Amino acid sequence: MRRCLPGSLARRRLPSRSLTTSTAQTSWRIAVQNKNASVNALVYVAPDDAGTISEAVKDNICTKNMPTTCSSAMLRDFTSPFDATVVQLLNDSGATIIGKTNCDEFGMGSLNIHSVHGPVVNPYQHPASAMEWHVRERRSAGGSSGGSAAAVAAGMCDVALATDTGGSVRLPASYCGVVGLKPSYGLISRWGVVSFADSLDCVGIIGKNVASTSRVFDVLSKFDERDPTAARSSTREKAQELSSEQMAEGLSCSRDLTDLHIGIPQEYFPASLDSSIVSPFRRVVHALKTRGATVLPVSLPSTRYALSAYYVIASAEASSNLARYDGVQYGLHGTYALTADAFDNYFLQSQRLRQCIRDDFMRVFRVPNPLAESPARNEAGVHVLLHPSAVCTAPHLDEQDGLDAYTQDVLTVPASLAGLPALSVPIMAGAEGDGWPLGVSIVGQWGCEKMVLAVGAAIEDVELKRESLA
Amino acid sequence: MLARSRTPSLRTHHRLYSTGLTNTVRTFEKGNRWPGWEVVIGIEVHAQIKSRKKLFSHAWTPNLGSTPNSCVSPYDAAFPGTLPRLNPACISLALRTAIALRSDIQHRSAFDRKHYFYSDLPAGYQITQHYHPIARGGHIFLPQSDVSVRIEQIQLEQDTGKSMFDPRRRLLSIDLNRAGMGLMEIVSKPDLRSPEQAGEYVRTLQAVLRTIGASDGNMEQGSLRCDVNVSVNRPGQPPGTRCEIKNLNSVRFMIAAIGSEVYRQIAMLDTGTSVPQETRGFNEDTGETFTLRSKEGAPDYRYMPDPNLPPLFLTSGLISSVQEDMPALPDEIRERLVSHGLTQNEIDVLMAVDSGHEVGFDGRQGRGAVTYFEALLTNDRSSKTVINWIIHELLGQLALRKKVFRENPISLEQMGGLIDMVQSGLVTGSSGKLLLRHMLDNPSPAASTELARRLGLLATREDGLLEQLCVQAIANMPEEADAVRRGVPNVINKLLGRVMKSSKGTTNPQSVRKMLEKLLSPS
């Protein structure tokens, strides 16, 4: 099968009338019309458009005027009676929500192939390819927010909302060559976001560039009393204060990075990391040094436990959260980790490992932890960490044998377990690779989004300069 | 962190007992019902918290007559994307309960998810505090049994929905009105020794919960439900294997179920069979218990800390503010009423009014009979007069109209005014009673003096008019008047009756008697 066929459901839901309206055919609508059949990024397209900024919303975020299927047959006909807080905030900001984006079922997956709407096909095409775009190489857009990343990459919208539990924003952003932000846990309301694993779930933002991602983050980062895990205003202010204290030292402008200390975590270069990713990464590090940044190697020794801890916690919470859909039918065929006999050895052990991973991060950061009772200062610490976003470029969709979805998350889950902000920014591929998009991730202290985004903008600037030179 | 290794509270009952952590009141009942056997009982009470809103959602809690599924928010129905939001009123009421039971309030408690799958539990889990309850320990004194019963713990949890099966239509209906209402699970230690003690325990607890407004505690309406653990053993031997009897919905049935269960266990042990640990139900028709599930069949609830609800931290400030707002406990009220000079009988009547529901929803101080009585003890009104008006007139007339005290339309000002008018002779006692009935039948905000005036019930106090009526009576009854003048006793009452009749009861008998005596005096 050469062409990706969107699920029959998805096609049924695309109102044909909207595709033929000629009066105000904005660029995003043309992109949807021309590309969505091939990319399968949008599973529902809104019939009207009025706003200036076009935004798409992942299909596991509730909207009262559009279906919310979570890419699951279980919610095939579900429309929520309410808008998620983030949808309300977007609407209030004057954005046009153009539709709902494809994803892995309930956000569980790393390739966006587990969807009742069919897989998302990465819209990227290598510039040297002689093939027509519609018959381009079929590669994954990443998951679980593949639809959101692909929609932005294909120009169907300016920004897309997504969710990130263990890398679901950063991985597709990296594979599709767009910017993806997973904010600090608790900054953006989860009210109306269908739970996968509540202690890890974050609403994330995927944008064309750092500036548009940052603008939407500012719109969404608000305290919401409907989310019991939302960070209080006082905590936000404290984080802001601690972060800007350190920001003042440098980062005032992306050209001059004097006083910026960047840590390169040694554990983030596993054997599975594609060698062709290392040299572009080195090039970026070098460019940042040239602009004055101090780059230091750091160690996060508990990283090797992250994937195991993540999968125990995420699947335990998921089995609980999914009970409402199928519990009566399937009963206790849920997570082994929660059974009375296994609870201590698996669930509690994973919680302990999660704390070790958190402690690792807290040891290396210069900015004190705003969530700690008495935040300790670490003058020798780094402002942010920098590492490749993914171990490889977008995997081929039709050769799934070699794909191990679990290991796709190895570089992204530590920040999720620690609840830290992480931003994936696209970088240019090196000559030795396959030429597909790559991303680097910037991880910062809790609440240091401004700092993380500023470093992201610096890297974006480095890449722009290089592109214009090339 | 979840202390998973802890054995669930009830399983520790017998262990605690056998290790000698017992208090001094634990004497076994020495009746001859079960000669040679001792009975050990522990009770788990589930009391619905009397809040207007549910434990984790802003849906209204249902009334008795609420239409099914009319008090349900998307959260209660477990809609995707919803999250819990703790209702602070439920916390305050649980704290009142903990204070009343002298339980040790935990500054940190936490919520767990308990998973099981039933159609009236829409999320597939119940949020409960099994492992980290809001309060531990405590005790409650049972005056009749003269026993102090220890409390194991008090925990908050969600109620489930209700499912009703219609066998005729083979249709299972689900009503989610109750789903998500706040419950307090109050777990006793196995300190009870007879079915009657168990009954007194539940009734005493009911009275406490009602007085502090924490729960309506109504077993028939399901706002209080009991699970009972029963075991028997030979004196001097360790406690026997317990069976849990679930879902008992009246004190009477609970007493019957315990009795029947004791006989069943003794019969088994007498024939050399051991009692298997199991969960049992009670058949109200046969009066016998029956197996629901064996210990092996006990489900693994896969408890998990709720990832949405952070631990509940209670500051000392919050606890002391709850303490300050705490309504008086039944014993304290009793003591106060004794100091007002009421008899035990009067106190019993007053405190039993509307089953002691003095406090409104969310702990708001209500207008119960005790509050009403005490608020009337101003203006030099004597407590005797006030209690007589309340018990004999107001409660009597309300009962006659099949109304409960809560429906009493007579305000404190109106009632006070009425009592004062009678005391000062402005209206007669009989007019006062008439006025009270009128106010019950025609509720009005008007002052009682105004109502008395409108109804022409004000006593004829003007001496001129009174004299005129008396002169008239004397003229109409010359023989009787002569007899009075001659000093024949009691004849004056005939004249008095005549005056009362002609004034249609608006005259004060004492004033009339004085006037007649003056007019008929030999001088």
Distance, first Cα to last Cα, chain A? 37
Q: Is the dihedral of CA A452, A453, A456, A458 positive or negative?
A: negative
Q: Give residue B332's pLDDT.
A: 85
Is-catalytic flag, A58? yes
Which of chain A's residues have a Cβ under 8 Å away from the Cβ of B117? Answer: 323, 327-328, 331-332
Using an 8 Å Cβ cutoff, are B356 and B215 in contact?
no
According to DSSP, the β-strands at A54-58 and A42-45 are unpaired
Report DSSP state, residue B195.
Answer: H
Q: Which domains does chain A have, with CATH numbers?
A: 8-220 (3.90.1300.10), 233-307+345-469 (3.90.1300.10)
What does each C-alpha distance from B188 to B133, B136, B200, B228 come to in angstroms?
A: 14, 10, 13, 10
Lowest mean pLDDT among A26-30, B206-210, B228-232: A26-30
Which of chain A's residues have a Cβ under 8 Å away from the Cβ of B304? Answer: 316-317, 320, 338, 347
User: CA angle at residue B293 from B288 to B295, to 5 degrees?
Assistant: 120
Report DSSP state, residue B382.
Answer: -
Task: At B203, list the tokens.
Answer: 């009734």
Give the confidence band of B11 by pLDDT, cuts at 50, 70, 90: very low
Which of chain B's residues have a Cβ under 8 Å away from the Cβ of A225? Answer: 85
Which of chain B's residues have a Cβ under 8 Å away from the Cβ of A197? Answer: 307
Sequence spans of domains, chain B: 9-305, 327-454, 463-520
Chain B: closest CA distance from residue A421 (Å): 19
- B74–A340 CB contact, under 8 Å: no
**Residue B168 buriedness (CB in 10 A; 0-12 / 13-18 / 19+):** exposed
Higher pLDDT, A410 or A329: A410
Give the confidence band of B90 by pLDDT, cuts at 50, 70, 90: very high
Q: Give residue B247's pLDDT.
A: 86
Q: Is the dihedral of CA B226, B232, B236, B238 positive or negative?
A: negative
Instruction: Say if residue B15's pLDDT is above 60.
Output: no
pLDDT in tens, A29-73: 888 989 999 999 999 998 866 567 899 999 999 999 999 999 999
CA separation for the pair A261, B297 (Å, rounded): 59
CA separation for the pair A320, A334 (Å, rounded): 8
Closest residue by Cα to residue A447 from A379, A369, A376: A369
B30 C-beta neighbours (distance < 10 Å), count: 9
CATH node for B463-520? 1.10.10.410
- A68–B81 CB contact, under 8 Å: yes
Q: Give residue B425's pLDDT.
A: 76
Using an 8 Å Cβ cutoff, are B105 and B139 in contact?
no
CA atoms within 13 A on the CB side of B466: 22
pLDDT in tens, B117-139: 888 999 999 999 989 999 999 99
CA separation for the pair B418, B432 (Å, rounded): 7
Q: Give residue A24's pLDDT.
A: 42
Is-catalytic flag, A93? no
Kindly identify which residue of chain A lies nearest to residue B77, measuring between CA atoms. Answer: A324
Q: What number of C-beta contacts closer than 8 Å exist between A and B?
A: 104
* Helix spans in B356-491 (H): 369-375, 383-388, 396-400, 412-423, 429-441, 448-454, 463-476, 478-485
Q: Give residue B333's pLDDT.
A: 86
Mutation for A interface: B56, B79, B302, most A CBs within 10 A: B302
Q: What is the mean pLDDT of chain B?
A: 88
pLDDT in tens, A197-256: 999 999 999 999 999 999 999 999 999 999 999 999 999 999 999 988 877 555 655 578
CA separation for the pair B519, B523 (Å, rounded): 9
Crossing angle of helices B330-339 and B195-211, rounded to 10°: 70
- Phi first, then psi, for residue A64 (nearest 5°) are -85, -15
Residues of B with CB under 8 A from a CB of A: 1-2, 4-5, 74, 78-86, 113, 115, 117-119, 122-125, 299-300, 302-304, 307-310
CA separation for the pair B415, A443 (Å, rounded): 72
Task: At B451, list the tokens.
Answer: 């109502």
Chain B: closest CA distance from residue A62 (Å): 7
Lowest mean pLDDT among A154-168, A319-333, A432-446: A319-333
User: CA angle at residue A391 from A55 to A163, to 5 degrees?
Assistant: 30
CA separation for the pair B81, B73 (Å, rounded): 12
A286 C-beta neighbours (distance < 10 Å), count: 11
Q: Give residue B18's pLDDT.
A: 34
In terms of residues, how long is chain B?
A: 523
Chain A: closest CA distance from residue B457 (Å): 59
Which residues does B331 contact at the CB level (< 8 Å), separation at least 6? none
Using an 8 Å Cβ cutoff, are A344 and A411 in contact?
no
Using an 8 Å Cβ cutoff, are B198 and B228 in contact?
yes
**Residue A256 buriedness (CB in 10 A; 0-12 / 13-18 / 19+):** middle
Lowest mean pLDDT among A152-156, B219-223, B452-456: B452-456
Instruction: Say if residue A382's pLDDT is above 80.
Output: yes
Element (H, E) at B185: strand B182-188
3-state SS, residue A441: strand
Chain A: closest CA distance from residue B119 (Å): 7
Q: Looking at this predicted complex, what is its ipTM?
A: 0.91
Instruction: Say if residue B7's pLDDT is above 70.
Output: no
Higher pLDDT, B344 or B359: B344
Which of chain B's residues have a Cβ under 8 Å away from the Cβ of A57? Answer: none
- Quote the radius of gyration of chain B (alpha carbons, Å): 31
Lowest mean pLDDT among A3-17, A23-37, B83-97: A3-17
* Helix spans in A4-145 (H): 8-13, 16-20, 27-39, 85-92
Instruction: Say if residue B363's pLDDT is above 60.
Output: yes
What residues pair up with A386 in beta bridges, in sequence order?
A442
According to DSSP, the β-strands at B104-105 and B278-283 are unpaired
Which residues does A243 contact at the CB level (< 8 Å), separation at least 6? A367, A445, A447, A448, A450, A451
Q: What is the mean pLDDT of chain A?
A: 89
Lowest mean pLDDT among A103-107, B144-148, B417-421, B469-473: B469-473
- B310–A328 CB contact, under 8 Å: no
CA separation for the pair B189, B193 (Å, rounded): 11
Instruction: Say if residue B19's pLDDT is above 60.
Output: no
Q: Give residue A2's pLDDT.
A: 35
Instruction: Say if residue A18's pLDDT is above 70.
Output: no
